[in-house]
């Protein structure tokens, strides 16, 4: 089980810049630990030890040859290789085990069947595990860090102890500091009459996309204070604003980890505040 209490450790004589850097780092380490526990039943202890270096040289089969196809070697690629190595090693160990009595995400992937009724291959399970890892870590840690920044600079921070206000603070942080700045592509259905938006017409087969960041910062939707930190706006939203708020996407293709991420962020925020 992962404990959030190491987050409360406060070294003495730090500048505000140093405090911010440490807090951002600790949120990332905590996200690693929680995801490792949920995915592999093995928290890495990164927050406790203050290190994001995952030791994989002791694990059999941790070398991943496919990464050698990447010509450019830098710290980002090295980090991905390290994470992919850890993920692959865990998957291999569990696949060759005589019995798997774990109750985690990996156990679900190991039991999953493809469209032909067969078990998933190693590459598929490793890929899905890596995707879960990457999706869960930065999104939660970045949102928490943004929330703490806005709270520290807001004159209304005393209200945070009220639970409804905590929900509003998290929503406002996700709205102002969208973790996903990519667009969410949607295709105009083939065989349809197309789509008319204002003076524009988009024929069938056209792929439309707009970034979440642009929607969340639109003054046309959120008002002239769209760029200001105002959790109070969530006390009474218009229908258009409710539809426009999509930090996890919309439709059946939305983020499957939304409920987990929200619970995780609320528990961490409540512990800190």
CB 147 within 8 A of CB 273: no
Q: Is 255 a known ligand-binding residue? A: yes
Spatial neighbors of 151 by CB under 8 A, at least 6 apart, are 157, 160, 169, 273
CB 166 within 8 A of CB 266: yes
Other Cβ atoms within 10 Å of 85 Cβ, number: 19
113 bridge partner residues: 119
* Separation between Cα atoms, residue 90 and residue 61, nearest integer Å: 9
Spatial neighbors of 209 by CB under 8 A, at least 6 apart, are 183, 184, 185, 186
Phi, psi (degrees; rounded to nearest 5) at 194? 90, -175
State in Å, rounded, how far the first CA of the chain is from the last one.
21
CB 132 within 8 A of CB 112: no
* Chain-centroid distance, C-alpha 136: 4
> How many contiguous H segments (helices) and E segments (strands) does the chain have?
10, 4
Spatial neighbors of 146 by CB under 8 A, at least 6 apart, are 173, 174, 176, 177
Q: Which residues are annotated as a binding site?
A: 255
Q: Which residues are annotated as a binding site for heme?
A: 255
């Amino acid at each position: 089980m992962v404990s959030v209490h190491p987050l409360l450790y406060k070294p003495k004589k730090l500048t505000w810049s140093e405090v911010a850097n440490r807090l951002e780092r600790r949120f990332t380490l905590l996200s690693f630990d929680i995801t490792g526990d949920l995915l592999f039943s093995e928290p890495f202890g990164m927050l406790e030890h203050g290190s994001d270096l995952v030791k994989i040289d002791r694990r059999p089969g941790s070398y991943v040859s496919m990464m050698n196809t990447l010509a450019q070697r830098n710290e980002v690629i090295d980090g991905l290789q390290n994470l992919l190595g850890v993920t692959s090693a865990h998957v291999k160990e569990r696949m060759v085990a005589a019995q798997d009595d774990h109750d985690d995400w990996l156990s679900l992937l190991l039991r999953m069947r493809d469209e032909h009724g067969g078990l998933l291959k190693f590459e598929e399970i490793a890929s899905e595990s890596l995707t879960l890892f990457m999706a869960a870590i930065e999104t939660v840690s970045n949102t928490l860090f943004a929330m703490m920044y806005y709270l520290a600079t807001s004159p209304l921070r005393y209200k945070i102890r009220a639970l409804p206000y905590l929900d509003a603070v998290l929503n406002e942080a996700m709205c102002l500091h969208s973790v996903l700045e990519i667009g969410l592509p949607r295709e105009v259905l083939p065989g349809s009459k197309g789509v008319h938006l204002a003076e524009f017409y988009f024929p069938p087969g056209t792929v439309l996309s707009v970034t979440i960041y642009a929607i969340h910062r639109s003054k046309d939707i959120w008002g002239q204070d769209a760029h200001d930190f105002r959790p109070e706006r969530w006390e009474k939203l218009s229908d258009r604003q409710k539809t426009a708020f999509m930090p996890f996407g919309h439709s059946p293709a939305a983020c499957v980890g939304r409920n987990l991420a929200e619970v995780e962020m609320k528990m961490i925020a409540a512990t800190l505040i």
